[in-house]
Amino acid sequence: MTETPSLAEAASLCAENRFDLIFLDHNLGDGIGWEIAEMIFLDPQKYGNPRIVAMSGSVPKEKAEKSGIHYSQFLPKTLRIRTD
């Protein structure tokens, strides 16, 4: 398992590895993570053809699913904040 908080590092990791599955967050520290899905889609010779699960806690599910041409599935992040 590999993890990164940045778009630049994610792009580099995808170029160095041929992942089978990628969980990709929408908001990364330096950009929109879903741009990686488009990059992979446009160059499968370089990046392979991984299943990509896009995630977000800030993008409505309906909007994410409509724009999901470069990823396999959308998974909304639901957080519950405990106050007790």
Domains of the chain, by residue range, sit at 7-76
Q: Which residues, in sequence order, are CB contacts of 4 under 8 Å at separation 6+?
A: 10, 13
Q: What is the mean pLDDT of the chain?
A: 83
Average pLDDT over residues 11-29: 89
Is the pLDDT at 84 greater than 70, yes or no? no
- Are 14 and 40 within 8 A, CB to CB? yes
Other CB atoms within a 10 A radius of the CB of residue 37 amount to 22
pLDDT of residue 77: 79
Contact residues for 59 (Cβ-Cβ < 8 A; gap 6+): 26
pLDDT mean over 33-52: 90
pTM (2 d.p.): 0.76
Most confident of 26-30, 38-42, 70-74, 75-79: 38-42
Fold of 7-76: Rossmann fold (3.40.50)
